[in-house]
Amino acid sequence: MSISRFLVLSVLAMPAFAAEQTNYDRVQLSTEAKGELENDIMRVVLHSQSQQKTAQQAADDVNKAMRWALDEVKSAKSVKYQTQDYRTDPRYKEQKIVAWNAEQSLKLESKDIEALSGLIGELQERLKVQNVEFDASDALKAAKENELIGEALKSFGERAKLITSQLGAQSYKIVNMNISSSGPVYYARQEMRSFGAAKMADMATPAVAAGTQTVTMTVNGEIELVR
């Protein structure tokens, strides 16, 4: 795990006559802890598409392909699935309908990445892969965040003690504190080429890599020096 920290200090200089004000000898500081988190969830979107002379023919093609796909998916107990984005649209030429296009998507999700990868290989017999992405489960995210909160709070305390000592104070007290996660989360993505109606014997299981994402926890606070 890679941990990095930074410190931002802002000492509020106060004139002598303001010694009795409540914000006297206050210091604002911020510490940050970062860590890498292994993705353990795979999500895939596949779709079926057909263009025919009539809407009924196009829809029939898609419906048959999707029913076949659902039968295949139902046998994979570790895979969650959901159909979505069903639509039928006309195709025009010189303001006249010349064909109809039908399509529907199938979203799959699983923590068993090996099993889902194998299922994708099977489904590509009749469906096309739209995209693949990876994420970390809520449980893993929460565990990593708790770990990093501890690191950030430890750093905050160490910095507060250092400031107290260097500025000649006896101790300090925390005025306020905020703990938050920050920064974008990047998912490893892998685009996969569809092999159309290729024979399963010629189709290998897709090679995928779940990758990692960066989790960042930030502690912002204000301390008051006790003289």
Mean pLDDT (the chain, rounded): 86
Token couple for 37: 């988190």
More confident residue, 49 or 211: 49
State how far the alpha carbon of 58 is from the alpha carbons of 51, 76, 100, 196, in Å: 5, 28, 6, 17
Grade residue 203 by pLDDT with cuts at 50, 70 and 90. low
Q: What average pLDDT does the segment 121-132 reach?
A: 96
| pLDDT value at residue 22 | 59
- Judge whether residue 18 has pLDDT over 50: no
Q: What is the C-alpha to C-alpha distance for residues 186 and 26, in angstroms, rounded to an integer?
A: 37
Exposure string over 41-61, b if 16+ CB within 10 A, otherwise e: bbbbbbbbebebeebeebbeb
Helix, strand, coil % in the chain, rounded to nearest 5: 30, 40, 30
Q: Are 35 and 147 in contact (CB under 8 A)?
A: yes
Mean pLDDT of 189-196: 44
Query: What confidence tens digit (pLDDT) does each residue in 134-189 have?
Result: 999 999 999 999 999 999 999 999 999 999 999 999 999 999 999 998 644 554 44
pLDDT for position 16: 46
Per-residue model confidence (pLDDT) at position 49: 98
Under the banding of pLDDT at 50, 70 and 90, the label for residue 193 is very low
Residue 177 phi, psi dihedral angles, 5° rounding: -155, 145
Q: In DSSP terms, which residues pair with 100 in a beta bridge?
A: 52, 90
**Sorting pLDDT into bands at 50, 70 and 90, what band is 13?**
very low
pLDDT in tens, 101-110: 999 999 999 9
Q: Are 114 and 201 in contact (CB under 8 A)?
A: no
User: What is the tens place of the pLDDT at every residue in 34-89?
Assistant: 999 999 999 999 999 999 999 999 999 999 999 999 999 999 999 999 999 999 99
Q: Output the CA torsion 193→194→200→201 (10° steps).
A: -40
Q: For residues 30 and 21, which has the higher predicted lDDT (pLDDT)?
A: 30
Distance CA 66, CA 126 (A): 9
Q: Which of 186, 188, 194, 85 is nearest to 132 (CA)?
A: 188
Query: In the chain, where do the E strands start and end?
Result: 10-11, 26-38, 41-52, 80-93, 96-110, 128-135, 171-181, 212-226
Residue whose tokens read 């507060």: 160
The domains of the chain, with CATH numbers, are 1-40+136-227 (3.30.110.170), 42-135 (3.30.70.360)
1 pLDDT higher than 90? no
Residue 15 has pLDDT above 70, yes or no: no
